[in-house]
Chains A and B, each alone.
Chain A
Amino acid sequence: MRLGFLVDLSRCMGCMACAVACKAENNVPLHSWRLRVKYIDQGEFPDVKRHFVPLRCNHCENAPCERICPVSALHYLPNGIVNVDHDRCIGCASCMMACPYNAIYLDPITNSADKCTYCAHRIEVGLMPACVVACPTHANIFGDLDDPESEISKYLKSHRDVMVRKPELNTHPKHFYVRGSTVALDPLASERPEGFTLFTEVKFLDHIGGH
């Protein structure tokens, strides 16, 4: 079994239900996100377009975070999920330096690394990840990549415009995007100006932790 995710970006309407469901399900603290939705505006009025991109851990088959973790706090589950053992984590942040998708954060309460686990605790009891359940447009498609009859496998077969983020890094992500674009998936294809924009202040946090 190899669990994977696919987001059909043409269905995503940026409602953030997935992000909220993820926060609630996993008790994700303030200023931390396992799943977030980024808005990118492209073009000049009247020729404009808005892209919504849900971003979460890619559960790479060749995961740099798993490789660099000095104590195996990040480890593979038999179903392909890259899981975190909070009690083993020493908080060195090497995984954050290695993850090219910025998908790992240091939990300010536990001081351990944390990230999306595809809701491993729900999958274990036969439930879908919280974000999949909450999505009103079924933009999040989750399933077994090894099962040719699964919805995700059929989706991948029937679409030619499947993309992953940063394929050149050889991480083999198991998180796919359909009907995406470079503007949506390449962080340098759009500017990230700091300051107040649509609803919130786009900014970088200066540093993490207490030093």
Chain B
Amino acid sequence: MIGAEVTFDVPIPKVIWGWLVSTNMWAKSIATGSFFLGLYFINKYPEQDRFFRKWLPILGLIFIGITLLVTILDLHHMFRFWKIFVHPHFTSAVTLGAWVVSGFVIILLIAFWSWLTGKRKLFDKVMIPGFILAFFATIYTAGIMGQATAREVWVFPAEMISMLLSALLAGSAAYLVIDAIFNHPLKEEIRKELSYILFGSAGLMAAMFIGELVFAKMHSEFAHKVIQILAFGEVAIFFWIGMFLAFIVPMIFVGIYTQKKDYKYALYGSLSALVGLWFIKHAWLIAPQSLPLS
């Protein structure tokens, strides 16, 4: 006897988490990445901290706001979201994420107030708790993916590194775009450092994805199937557009910028990275959901 096929079954849902969740991860990367890099540059270049003290809370609040909005919209009982605070189940990364992000929003509001009123010390006092909350806000989604036992290739330690790299990529790209829009208030040294961070995080993330393409088939039949769907199947278009826009284009353009000192290449590379990041996140979210589970 050879071959076997399902001849009778009920329709089962394929995609459970869609574009709203991809947007959640994308926006959160920008919010936390701009926080990490903002803290770093405020401390490294105190003479130019006005730029970061202003844009850290603005970028953070806008993009964490988008994150929270799409998260609530994705709930099938969106008006019950408050239950996560009154009936928390702390074994769940979803619960931990909700609490951590709420704390992170408070830190961002303090940073915003500090910038508005000019009370710098206010923000200085919450930098360390802010860093800790931003760190956990970045990686909690990796925890959710790790707890999603049904889905192949979402493995916790690797997802955590990938999320942190996404944050660095998105944060550096966001600051380079803001710098370009407002006629380059940043000094050359900072811009160059942001470009190196963008280049490095894009390179490392690309290496992680290529590593999955090569090695996943050695893990299990399920992982192999997911990678086939990702690279050659129904989400391949998202995946390859993401690979090209998020990693390859920014690395080339940032490389040209550092050689030619032509700012517009840094802007193009950053915009490409931000757009591409959504595509790659979306492909990575959908592919494991395309496997039949039963």
Contact = CB atoms under 8 A, between A and B. Distances in A.
Contacts of A153: none
Contacts, number: 200
Contact of A91 (B2, B76, B98, B292): B76
Contacts of A187: 291-294
Contacts of A112: 76-77
A98 B94 CA distance: 12
B77 A207 contact: no
A39 B95 CA distance: 39
Contact of A70 (B14, B98, B148, B292): B98
A51 B5 CA distance: 10
Contacts of B291: 187-188
B294 A94 contact: no
Interface in A1-46: 14, 31, 33, 36-44
B80 A90 contact: yes
Contact of B93 (A68, A103, A206): A68
Nearest to B76: A91
B10 A207 contact: no
Given A42-B1, A64-B149, A91-B76, A188 B222 contact: yes
Given A55-B294, A70-B88, A204 B11 contact: yes
Contact of B13 (A89, A90, A205): A205
B14 A204 contact: yes
A205 B11 contact: yes
Interface size class of B (residues with CB under 8 A): 35 or more
Interface residues of A, number: 69
Interface in A197-211: 197-209, 211
Question: Which of A39, A50, A199 is most buried by chain B, counting CB atoms within 10 A of its CB?
Answer: A39
B183 interface: no
Interface in B246-294: 289, 291-294
Contacts of B98: 70
Contact of A90 (B20, B83, B292): B83
B7 A202 contact: yes
A192 B291 CA distance: 10
B80 to A, nearest CB: 4
11 contacts: A39-B7, A89-B77, A91-B76, A93-B17, A94-B148, A99-B150, A188-B291, A191-B4, A197-B7, A206-B14, A211-B73
Given A39-B9, A70-B84, A200-B9, 14 more contacts: A43-B3, A44-B2, A64-B149, A68-B148, A70-B88, A90-B76, A97-B16, A97-B289, A101-B293, A183-B4, A187-B293, A204-B11, A206-B14, A211-B73
Interface of B: 1-18, 20, 73-78, 80-81, 83-84, 87-89, 91-95, 98, 144, 147-151, 221-222, 225, 289, 291-294
Which 4 A-B pairs have CB atoms at the shortest separation, nearest pair first?
Answer: A91-B76, A43-B1, A39-B8, A70-B94
